[in-house]
Amino acid sequence: MYGRDDFRSARQKMNPGYSLVSGDPSHTSPGQAVSGVGNAFNEVFRAIGKVLFIILRVFLILTGITFVLCGFIALVSFIMVFFFHYPGYFSTHSFGVNLFYLPDFLNYIVNPAIAPWILVLTFIVILMPLLALIYWGVKMIFWFKAKDGIFSLAGLVIWVVCVAALSLLLFNEGISYAETAKTESEEVIEKAPANLYILADRTVADLHYDKEISFDEDDYNVFFIDDNKGLFIASGLNINNSDDNTVRVNIRKRSAGRSRIDAARKAEGLAYNWKISGDTIFIDEYFTIPANTKWSFDNVRVNLYIPEGTEVHFDKTTENMFRRQHYYDDDWNWSWDGESKEMVRSNRGNNQWIMTEDGLKRSSDKEK
């Protein structure tokens, strides 16, 4: 039988690191060395993780602050423009149109019965993302946990439903503008007078309107009275060479509708007054649409064809109509009006023009 010494000798041969005195390993085993290296890597990765976490938190805080500021500014701007009609920079001519009058103008564009629904749905579609942006921004900043999954899902469903409903309403109303058509009427003065006078009959200055929407790029101005009591649109004036010795007055009306027939019917119904009396042509500065009729991108243009050599005389209104269409801004002087605190234009030359082979020009320009 083996004795205790033989047992210890066999044990030592099996484990050279085994101490005969203490019974513990006399030096670090390979497994322990690997474990120590692993612990060192764990510490390194833990430190890198803490750094990345700090970077992530800083990024989330900055992103949250950006979300809150952008959402809050957009929300305040939206409320100020469409609820309080505050005429700040962003609400007047920022995009070439008076934004804060658009909700009032909506009654003339769509069916008045669904106009409130379009406004409500539009507000929901715009406000909900802004409120969500602010909420998620606050959550990023303060890093708090909340059981908001159900509320977020419900809000998303409501927003999607509102977007779908608004899209259907706008699509249904948009069909009304699918086609455009023009109608024309013309009258001829067989023998052109040496001096032709173009005067205004009804002018915008005589209107008592409440609001105006100006589409700057198209020089398209709409004047309307609250409570659907009237809609007036500025007309245009073009003057061209005539190919004979006659003066022709061509009135061109344009409108939109569900079909070309519908658009032509709407264009024919536009109310515009003009007349010829001897050597004088009287035209209105604006036209109107029939009662209980929606606005449909309506337009009226007065096209005059005048033979070469004819002297043309305007009044202030008709000359402004002609200049707006032909952009004769270089003929105006700009001056500061101290009472109204704005720039005003004044004509520095006379209002006598003459038709040349190159078109209508001022008499002084032709002499030069």
What are the structure tokens assigned to 367, written together? 């002499």
- Strands of 311-314's sheet in order across: 274-277, 280-283, 195-200, 311-314, 352-356, 359-362
Question: What rounded mean pLDDT belongs to the chain?
Answer: 79
Output the pTM of the full model: 0.68
Residue 261, pLDDT > 90, answer yes
Measure the CA–CA gap between 115 and 118, rounded to whole angstroms.
5
Cα torsion through 88, 92, 94, 97, rounded to 10? 160
Residue 179, pLDDT > 70, answer yes
- Angle (nearest 5°) at CA 31 between 30 and 36: 95
pLDDT at 302: 95
Measure the CA–CA gap between 10 and 16, rounded to whole angstroms.
10
Q: Alpha helices of 175-297 — where are they, by DSSP H? A: 260-268
- Please indicate whether residue 163 or residue 345 has the higher confidence score (pLDDT): 163
pLDDT at 326: 61
Region 176-184: mean pLDDT is 91
Region 42-55: mean pLDDT is 87
Region 296-321: mean pLDDT is 92
Q: What percent of the chain has pLDDT over 70?
A: 74
pLDDT at 368: 47
Highest-pLDDT range among 31-40, 107-116, 198-207: 198-207
Residue 253, pLDDT > 70, answer yes
pLDDT at 361: 86
For residues 115 and 107, the answer to whether their CB atoms sit within 8 Å is yes
Residue 242, pLDDT > 50, answer yes
User: What confidence category does residue 117 fall into, taking pLDDT thresholds of 50, 70 and 90?
Assistant: very high
User: What confidence category does residue 213 fall into, taking pLDDT thresholds of 50, 70 and 90?
Assistant: confident
pLDDT in tens, 12-22: 555 554 444 44
**Residue 288, amino acid:** T
Give me the residue spans of the domains in the chain. 50-176, 179-367
- Please indicate whether residue 178 or residue 97 has the higher confidence score (pLDDT): 178
Which among 186, 193, 183 is positioned nearest to 306, based on CA atoms? 193
Q: What percent of the chain has pLDDT over 90?
A: 40
pLDDT at 186: 93
- Please indicate whether residue 276 or residue 343 has the higher confidence score (pLDDT): 276
Residue 28, pLDDT > 90, answer no
- Please indicate whether residue 219 or residue 33 has the higher confidence score (pLDDT): 219
Least confident range of 30-44, 62-76, 78-92: 78-92
pLDDT in tens, 265-275: 999 999 999 99
pLDDT in tens, 49-58: 889 999 999 9
User: What confidence category does residue 92 fall into, taking pLDDT thresholds of 50, 70 and 90?
Assistant: very low
For residues 285 and 321, the answer to whether their CB atoms sit within 8 Å is yes
pLDDT in tens, 310-323: 999 999 999 888 88
Least confident range of 10-24, 193-207, 285-299: 10-24
For the chain, give the number of residues. 368
Instruction: Please state at what angle helix 115-142 crosses helix 102-109, rounded to 10 degrees.
Output: 140
Residue 339, pLDDT > 60, answer no
User: What confidence category does residue 103 fall into, taking pLDDT thresholds of 50, 70 and 90?
Assistant: confident
Region 118-143: mean pLDDT is 92
Region 82-109: mean pLDDT is 62
Sequence-separated (6 or more) residues with CB below 8 Å from residue 157: none
